Amino acid sequence: VNGLYRALLALAPPRLRRDHAADMEALFTERLAAARTNGRAAAAGVWLRAAADLLHARAQSWRAERVPLTVYIDERTTIMVGSDLRYAWRALLRQRSASVLVVFMLALGIAANVAVFTLVNGLFLRPFPFPHPDRLAYINTAAPKWNLDVVGINYPDFDRWTKDQKLFDALMTYQGGAFTLSDGAGAVRVRGEYITREFTKVLGVEPILGRTFTAEEDRPKGPPVTILSAALWRDRFGGDRNIVGRAVRIDGAARTVVGVMPPEAAFPGDVQLWVPMAGDPAQAGESYGGDAIGRMKPGVTIEQADADLKRVHQPIWDASDKDHVVTPFVKPLHETFVADYRSAAKTITGAVALLLLVACANVAAMMLARALARRREMGIRLALGSSRMRLLRQLLIENLLLAAAGSAIGLVAGRAAVGALITLIPDQFPRWAVFAIDVRVVAFAVLSVLMTVVLFGWAPALHAVGGDLRSAVGSTTNGTTGAPRGRRTLWFLVAGEFALSAVLLVCSLLLVKAFDRVRHTDPGFRSDHILLTTIPLSEETRPKADQWLGFWNDLEPRARQLPGVDAAGVITCAPLDGCHLGNFFIAENALPRPDGKNPVVLTRMATAGYFQAMGLRLREGRFLADGDIASRALTRDDITNGRVPLVIVVNESFVRTFWGEHANGVGRRVKFNWTPWMTVVGVVADVKHYGLERPMRPGVYLPNNFNPQSTMTLALHTKVEPSSVTASLRELVHQIDPEIPLVRPRTMETLIEQSTALRAAFSWMLAVFASLAFVLAIGGAYGVATYLVTQRTREIGIRVALGARTADVFRSVVSSGVAVVAGGVALGLAGSVLVARQLGTALFGVSTHDASVLVPVTVVLVGTALLANGLPARRAARIDPMKSLRTDG
C-alpha cells in the first residue's frame, strides 16, 4: 500500500526523508486507514493532502536554505550543471573561431536538410487536403496494345462502373476546360472543369455557399448551372452572398450559379468554375478524355479496388472490346500526381544527406582535434580527482551548446531557403502542394543534430578521456606527437569528406552538363521572336465548322499586317504547350514493326503560314501551301469520296518509323483507317513537341480545313520584342468579335524556359550542395593539417635543430595529408560512377565517366588539398627551433 507513499517521499526535502522516512510513513498509514472508513473519496483526499504536504515542505526547505550548511546530492547536481555550462561557455569562447566554424558547418547542413525535407514533405508526405486522403484512388484506362499508358475516361464506361462497383463510396470523373466568362464589362477566360455531380462526396468537400449539382443537372440537356470557386466569386463577383440563383454568361450562354466551393476543392489545381459533365450513358463510342477519382470504402486496398473495377468492366469487354484493348486501372491518387517530381526529389534528398554527412564528418574531425589537443588538460583534471563522468558530461555540454546554436541558426536559414527554392520554380509545383515547415521537419533537424553530437561529439571525447591517466598527462609533456589512434581517425574523417565531396561534385557537374546539353538541344523551330496565343471561339455563337475556318482564314492575314509582325500562322497544337492529339495511321508499303505495335502519331492541323512563322525546316518536298486549303471545311463525305486531293506533310520520325532510316517520304501515301490515301508532299525536321529532353513521336500536319477546330493557337514571328505585339493583336481580335479572349499570350522563349525550369532548379541546387560540401571538405583538411602541425611543433623543432632542411620538413608534412586526400578522392570517383548511374535519364545521355567532368574534379580536389596542407606545412618549415623547443606542448 505504502510503496506509493514511499515514492511520493521523493518530493520531500532530502534531509527530512533521510531522518524521518519510517515515521512519516507510519503517520500516513494511520491517516489513510482512518480515512478509508469514510469511503474512497476521503482516502483520495488523504493522498492529495499528503502530496500537498510534501510539496509544501519542499518549497519551505528551498526558501530556508539560502545558506546551505550541507550540500545535498540533488543540489550538487544542479550546481555542477551550472558550472559545467559556464565552463563550457568559457571553453568555447577560448577557441572562438573554431567554435564559430563548427556552428556554421552544423547550421549549413541543417539548413539544407530542413529546406529539402520541407519540399519533399510538401510533395510526398503531406496528404491531400481532403478527409481520409488515403482512400482516394486515381482511375483511368490504359491501352497497352496502342502503346498508350493513359487513354482517358469514356463516359458510358464510367457510368457502368458507377452503377456496378461495390468497393467505392463514390466515383467522379472530371475534365479540365477553359471557359469564357462574359458580362457587360468584357470577357475573361478562366480555367474550369466539367465534373460529375458526386465530386463533393469523393473529395469530401462542402460548398461554402449553396449546393453541389443534382442528378437532374448532371445529365444531357439538364438545366444550365455552374458552381464558382471562392477566388472567382470574390474577385469577379465581389463575394456577393446573393450570388446563388443568379445567372452568369459562360461561353455565350446563361448558366445559373448554384454554389460556391472552398479553395481546396480546386483539384488538381487552378479550377475557377465547375459545370456538370452531363454525360450521356447511351452515347456509345464517345471520346475518351479526362480522369476519374474514386473514394474507396474504409479498409479497401488499391488491389481490391482495381479488381472490382476490372470485374465491372467485363460486360463492356464482352460487348464491344473483345480484345481487351482498353483496360481500366486504379492507382493511389498521390502517386499519380507526384510522379514527375519523385526522381528529382530523390536525388536532391540523397545529395542533402551526403552534404549533412560531410558537415558531420567535418564537425567530428574538429571535435576530435579539439579533444586531442585538450588531452593534457583532461589528464590534469583527472589527476586532480575529477571523475571521468564529470569530464565526459562537460564535453557533452560543450557539444550540446554548439549543436543548439547550430540548429537554431540552421532552422532560421532553412526557412529562408525554402522560400527561395519555391520562388525559383513557381509554375512547376502543383498548387495543392503546401510547403510549410512543420513539427516533423523541426523534429527531423533536431534529431539529426542530436545524432551528430552524440555520435561525433562524444566519440572523440571518449577517445580523449578513455586512455590511461599517465599517457594522457605524459603524451603532451614529453614532446612526442602522441595519440596515433586519434590521428588515424582524423585522417579517416578527412578522407571520407573528400570521398563524399567527390561524389557530389561529379554528380552535380554531370547534371549541369546535362542541363547545358538540354538547353542547347535543337528544338526544330525558331525559338526567338515567336509569340503564341490560343484563341477559343464560342461554339454557341459560331456553331458551324465553316464559321471557324472562316474566322482563322480572316484572322491570319490581318495578324500578318500588324506592325512588327513578320509572319503568322495557325495550328491546333503548338509545341511545348502540353497538348497532344494522337491518331493511328496506315502507311503504304510500311516496314513491319519489330514490336508489332502501331505507333501513335501526333496529328496537327495547320495553315500554310504556320511553317513560315515557326521557321520549321524542310527536309524534302514542300510545306503545306495556301492552295492545299480550300475556303470551306471538308465534310466526311468530301473526304471519303475522294472528291478532293488529300495532301499531308510528315516529320522525319514518321518517315523513319514507317519506311526506314534513309527512305524518301515525298510521293508516298498514308491514310486514317476511314479515309482514302493521302499523298505526302513534304517532310519536315522533327520538332521537340513534348519538351526539349523528350523523344519525338511520328507526327503529321494536315491542312487546316481537314477538320477545323474552334480553338486554335496563333503563332506570330515578330521583328520586335514578341510580347510587345500582344496589345495590337488583342485589339485586332476585339475588332472582329469583342467576346473572344486571347488565352495565355506567351513567347516561345518563356515556354522553353518553363519546360526546363525543373531541371534548371534541380541542377542548380545540386551544384550549390556540391560546392558547399567542397568548401567544408577543404576547411576540414585545412583544420586537421593545422592541428597536426601544431601538435608536431616540438618534433619539427628538433628535426630542424638536427639539420633538416625546410624542403624536407615541408615534404614530410604535406605528403601524409595529400596521400590521405588522394585516397579519399579516388574512392569518391569510383563511388560517383556508381551513384551517377542511378541518375539514369536525368543525365540526358551524358556519360557517367565523362572525362571533362572527372578530370577537373580530381585536379581541383587534390590541388586544393595540397594547398590546405601546404599552408600549415610552410608555417611548420619556418619554425624557429629555439622557440619550438621551449614550448612545452
Partner 1 sequence: MAAETLKPHFFYILLALAEGDRHGLAIARDAQALSGGSVRLWPATLYGSLDELRARKWIEELPEHPEDESERKRYYRLTRTGRAALNDEADRLARLARLARARTRLGDVR
Site residues, partner 1 (CB under 8 A): 12-13, 15-16, 19-20, 22-28, 30-31, 49-50, 53-54, 56-57, 60-61
| Cα distances (angstroms) measured from residue 735 to each of 167, 741, 756 | 55, 12, 37
Interatomic CA distance for residues 755 and 734, integer angstroms = 31
Closest distance to partner 1 from the beta carbon of 67 (Å): 13
Q: Nearer to partner 1 by C-beta: 43 or 758?
A: 43
Q: Nearer to partner 1 by C-beta: 24 or 111?
A: 24
| Torsion over CA: 794, 799, 800, 801 (sign) | positive
Closest distance to partner 1 from the beta carbon of 70 (Å): 13
Interatomic CA distance for residues 446 and 661, integer angstroms = 59
Q: Nearer to partner 1 by C-beta: 25 or 377?
A: 25
What stretch of H or E contains 251?
Answer: none
Q: Nearer to partner 1 by C-beta: 19 or 721?
A: 19
Interatomic CA distance for residues 544 and 227, integer angstroms = 28
Q: Nearer to partner 1 by C-beta: 34 or 307?
A: 34
Closest distance to partner 1 from the beta carbon of 32 (Å): 11
CB 881 within 8 A of CB 806: no
Q: Nearer to partner 1 by C-beta: 59 or 618?
A: 59
Omega before 268 cis (within 30°)?
Answer: yes
Closest distance to partner 1 from the beta carbon of 77 (Å): 22
Q: Nearer to partner 1 by C-beta: 59 or 882?
A: 59
CB 830 within 8 A of CB 493: no
Q: Nearer to partner 1 by C-beta: 61 or 726?
A: 61
| Cα distances (angstroms) measured from residue 640 to each of 326, 548, 624, 636 | 27, 22, 21, 6
Write the single-letter amino acid at 384.
L
Residue 80's region, left for phi above 0, alpha for psi from -120 to 50, else beta, is alpha
Q: Nearer to partner 1 by C-beta: 24 or 382?
A: 24
Q: Nearer to partner 1 by C-beta: 28 or 774?
A: 28
What stretch of H or E contains 359?
Answer: helix 333-373
Q: Nearer to partner 1 by C-beta: 24 or 421?
A: 24
| Torsion over CA: 100, 103, 109, 111 (sign) | negative
Beta strand 225-229 with 168-183 is unpaired
Describe the chain by its helix, strand, coil percentages, rounded to 5: 55, 15, 30
Closest distance to partner 1 from the beta carbon of 52 (Å): 8
Interatomic CA distance for residues 727 and 741, integer angstroms = 12
Closest distance to partner 1 from the beta carbon of 46 (Å): 9
Closest distance to partner 1 from the beta carbon of 24 (Å): 4
Q: In 3D, which of 751, 342, 431 has the Cα closest to residue 579?
A: 751
Per the DSSP assignment, residues forming a β-bridge with 699 are 602
Interatomic CA distance for residues 449 and 107, integer angstroms = 9
Closest distance to partner 1 from the beta carbon of 33 (Å): 12
Other residues' Cβ atoms within 10 Å of the Cβ of residue 494: 28
Would you give the end-to-end CA distance of the chain in angstroms?
63
With cell 474504409, the residue in question is 298
Q: Nearer to partner 1 by C-beta: 27 or 254?
A: 27
Q: Nearer to partner 1 by C-beta: 31 or 744?
A: 31
Closest distance to partner 1 from the beta carbon of 30 (Å): 7
Interatomic CA distance for residues 503 and 505, integer angstroms = 6
Other residues' Cβ atoms within 10 Å of the Cβ of residue 133: 16
Q: Nearer to partner 1 by C-beta: 57 or 148?
A: 57
The secondary structure of residue 143, as a DSSP letter, is B
Closest distance to partner 1 from the beta carbon of 22 (Å): 6
- 136 contacts: CB under 8 Å, gap ≥ 6: 128, 130, 202, 203, 293, 294, 295, 296, 332, 333, 334
CB 777 within 8 A of CB 770: no
Interatomic CA distance for residues 791 and 745, integer angstroms = 68
Closest distance to partner 1 from the beta carbon of 36 (Å): 16
Helices (H), 374-483: 375-383, 388-424, 439-452, 458-466, 469-477
Q: Nearer to partner 1 by C-beta: 56 or 883?
A: 56
DSSP assignment of 810-858: HHHHHHHHHHHHHHHHHHHHHHHHHHHHHHGGGGTT--TT-HHHHHHHH
Interior angle at CA 461, CA 458 and CA 467, nearest 5: 135
Q: Nearer to partner 1 by C-beta: 47 or 89?
A: 47
